[in-house]
A and B are shown apart, each in its own frame.
Chain A
Amino acid sequence: MSLLTRKHKRRGAFLAVILIALSAATFLMLRAFSENLLFYFLPSQVKEGKAPARHDFRMGGLVLQGSVKKDGLTVHFTVTDLHDSVPVVYTGILPDLFHEGRGVIVEGRMSGPDLFKADQVLAKHDAKYQPPEMTPEMKKYMQAH
């Protein structure tokens, strides 16, 4: 008995056609919805006016070094994509991973031309897993013992 008789070839071809049609349909659908599949806009896209002006959206980037100013529960910081930056104000509890120089996603809306009012702040993980680096004192201690 052969592995590919005429019957098997016919079924195989049918399966291949279905697979190709499905992939094509999926590809076109994802392309059509690609804007909606983006989870956030970058600050430069926001500055170019690509983000929705009338309703809420998310903006993602890095927390600019030295920009975090806390006043009680209200915190001011700047989100940057190293090309453009947008100042953000938020009142509430920040996630553990929120830190200057690290990734962040804020949800809210523009209030005025140069201020993003956030209702929610999400920290983005940079996919790096490292033990804490040894400080010089620790290294000296390790060498001495």
Chain B
Amino acid sequence: MLRKFAAPKIFYPLAGKLMPWFFWTFAVLGAVGLYWGLMLAPVDAVQGQAYRIMYVHVPSAWMSMMIYTSMAVSAAAVLVWRTKVAEYWLLCSPGLGASFTFITLVTGSLWGKPMWGTYWVWDARLTSELVLLFIYFAILAMKGAIPDRRKAARVMAMITVVGFVNIPIIKFSVDWWTTLHQGDSIFRKGGPSIAPSMLVPLFMMALSFSSYYFWLVLKHIRTLIERSAA
């Protein structure tokens, strides 16, 4: 089943059909979520207006890990089955992943200065997220260094698999060790500790960001399929 969809001949038109859905989800939810989050959502009792940076920071952080996880799945398919579409997925993703990681680090740092009292500390959460950025850079460097696309994808797949150990470390760093970064506000025992009026636009932004990623990846993969057919 999955193999059938992974054939470029089937994947190409399917991606073409899905792309407008992803684009409009990204555009509409992004606009509504941003306006709701930045203008309509109530101020925070403790942080005042500054908390609103989370509407960019939190979805970006989720994307930085979600994109990497999708790359790790692709990497396994590349290493075991040499699946072409998985190779394309791996070639198209690290640039976007690195961008979201960078946005996460910068927005977090800007929030940290007034709230924590520092732009940066070397605690386990912040450090492991920075390591993720460097892993993305390493994968991107391989893409640039190896001209043959299929060979590049295989080397990228190997680095992706090795670097995957960092993902659970980022996720659970705030539970395993003491950190300056706060613990999880959403996926925690007893439900989210964010007021519903603040949480709804956050989920909209998360959906918008992931749709943006899928839209761009599908677009990019279609270009690669076109090029290899030409």
Contacts and interface: CB of A to CB of B under 8 A. Distances in A.
- How extensive is the interface on chain B, given as a class? 35 or more
A127 B178 contact: no
Given A95-B114, A105-B180, A131 B43 contact: yes
B145 interface: no
A56 to B, nearest CB: 14
A130 interface: yes
A23 interface: yes
Contacts of B164: 19
Given A26-B165, A39-B180, A131-B197, A15 B117 contact: no
B82 to A, nearest CB: 9
A128 B177 CA distance: 20
Given A39-B124, A131-B45, A125 B116 contact: yes
Given A23-B165, A39-B180, A120 B118 contact: yes
- How extensive is the interface on chain A, given as a class? 35 or more
B182 A18 contact: no
A11 B80 contact: yes
Contacts of A34: 177
B37 to A, nearest CB: 11
A19 B164 CA distance: 9
Contact of B193 (A39, A122, A129): A129
A143 B184 CA distance: 36
A34 B124 CA distance: 10
11 contacts: A8-B80, A15-B80, A18-B161, A19-B161, A97-B115, A124-B182, A125-B46, A127-B182, A131-B43, A131-B44, A132-B43
